[in-house]
Amino acid sequence: MPKALFTFLFVVAVSLLSACSATSPLYQTSDSRLTSGNVSDFPAYLAATRRYLEDNLVAVSGFPRQDQVDWNMPFRSVPPETCTDAPTRGILLIHGLSDSPFVFRDFARVLAKDCVEVRTVLLQGHGTRPGDMIRADADIWREQVRLHFNALADDVDIALIGGFSLGGSLATEIALADQQPQPAGLVAIAPAWKLNGLDNYLWLASTANLFLDFVEKEPELNPVKYESLTINAAVQLTDVLESLQTQFSAPEPSDVPLFLLATEADSVINLPYLIDSFNTRFSHQDNRMLVFRDQRRSWPYPPDKRINLFDSYRPDLNILELSHQSLPASPDNLLYGVGMPLQRCLEPNRMSLEECRALAPDELWFSAWSDQEQPVSTSRLTYNPEFDAVASALSDFIRARAVKNHPE
């Protein structure tokens, strides 16, 4: 029996056996679902979203509920009044699967200071409880992204779009679509263009969705990202990936300027596919890619001045490698930063939470998620030690974008 099929049947059997057990509110759906909101009036959209979160968010332990509402909110970061440069610039940033707009707080702070307006959107099913992913719909995600991007484009002279993981794929859909207004640039942070080792499993999701709601119900320790995964989340992710592959099959590469950020150790995203797509599917002369990797090993690709390599091996910080989750977070992030509540033992590798917490500070190292044996005890890295350099490069890329047919 194929391993994927065996895994699917086993999960179904276990779920059916436990179907009669009591279900925590975390794993139940809310009575209402989030929509695009009033995109023409961003303050009204924020107010409506806050009411939705206040009504439906199931708090995780260890953090005040009101803080959790605030952290999961979409937001708008506006440049200071000293920014009088014309033309005006803005970017819509879209979070990843099971994540929230909180992931962009650090980038938004830097970009706003550099005279770039940042807006974020809370995708349907996110920010409240894992159970709300049972009814999330990829077409609603697309509608939210499209309408909010169009609203941003109405308010600034140069509008870009970007996203992290799933959000990177949704942003890419918009950037490659034959629509107006077209983004002046695409920012893709570890975009879910192709997933590591999951192609043989995702096809099962639609069938599994008929039998059960969750792939796994994990303890929820993170107030801004779900740990539990629903079957429907995989179904909707598959929908986005399949749509994107259709767009990538276009005979001509896209001339939308691309800023691509990735880590070689990513347990989720397929780096070789990202590099191939960067080289073959995007043609703009200003394209730029930043890759974190262990520089003790040789780089298996020809030199390319558009691709900048950062060393992810940082023994001075007990870092073996950068994780998927760490890329957009600064060392002083409110939750993920050094010494902050989620930095240590959020996702231990090959050990229990209790075992991880029992380690002395110098005994615990940080890496990508891995089920392979490591030379040291590791937990998933939550922040990017080179965040300032990445944010500066991103800001330069955005501020280099000009109004079409009106170069600066």
Is residue 45 within 8 Å of residue 39, measured between CB atoms?
A: yes
Q: Give how far Cα 373 sits from Cα of 88, 284, 378, Å.
A: 50, 41, 10
Q: Is the dihedral of CA 274, 275, 276, 280 positive or negative?
A: positive
Confidence tier at 231 by pLDDT (50, 70, 90) = very high
Amino acid at 159: A
Average pLDDT over the chain reads 91
DSSP single-letter state for residue 323:
-
Query: Does a cis peptide bond (omega within 30 degrees of 0) precede residue 191?
Result: no
Instruction: Say what the pLDDT of residue 406 is.
Output: 45
Confidence tier at 208 by pLDDT (50, 70, 90) = low
pLDDT tens digits, one per residue of 280-297: 999 999 999 999 999 999
Distance of CA 45 to the CA centre of its chain: 22
Average pLDDT over residues 269-277: 96
Is residue 52 within 8 Å of residue 32, measured between CB atoms?
A: yes
Amino acid at 182: Q
**Euclidean distance between CA atoms 344 and 365, whole angstroms:** 9
Beta bridge partners of 189: 164, 261
Q: What's this model's pTM, rounded to 2 decimal places?
A: 0.92
Superfamily the domain 21-311+387-399 falls into: Alpha/Beta hydrolase fold, catalytic domain (3.40.50.1820)
CA-based nearest residue to 400, from 286, 308, 283: 286
Average pLDDT over residues 347-359: 95
CA-based nearest residue to 321, from 387, 388, 376, 266: 266
Q: Which of the residue ranges 36-40, 171-175, 260-264, 381-385 would you say has the lowest mean pLDDT? A: 36-40
Average pLDDT over residues 354-361: 96
Instruction: Give percent above pLDDT 70 in the chain.
Output: 90
Does residue 62 come out as left (phi exceeding 0), alpha (psi in the -120 to 50 range) or beta?
Answer: left
Alpha carbons within 13 angstroms on the beta-carbon side of residue 176 total: 25
Average pLDDT over residues 180-185: 96
Structural element, H or E, at residue 258: strand 258-263
Count of residues making up the chain? 408
pLDDT beyond 50 at 20: no
Can you tell me whether residue 188 is helix, strand or coil?
strand
Q: Which of the residue ranges 21-25, 189-193, 315-319 would you say has the lowest mean pLDDT? A: 21-25
Confidence tier at 21 by pLDDT (50, 70, 90) = very low
Q: What are the boundaries of each domain within the chain?
A: 21-311+387-399
Q: At what angle do helices 231-248 and 138-155 cross, to 10 degrees?
A: 60
Instruction: Say what the pLDDT of residue 6 is.
Output: 39
Average pLDDT over residues 343-350: 94
Is residue 327 within 8 Å of residue 190, measured between CB atoms?
A: yes
DSSP single-letter state for residue 132:
G
Instruction: Say what the pLDDT of residue 19 is.
Output: 42
pLDDT beyond 60 at 14: no
Give me the DSSP letters along 60-122: PTTS-HHHHHHHHS--EEPPPTT---SS-EEEEEE--TT--GGGGHHHHHHHHHTTEEEEEE-
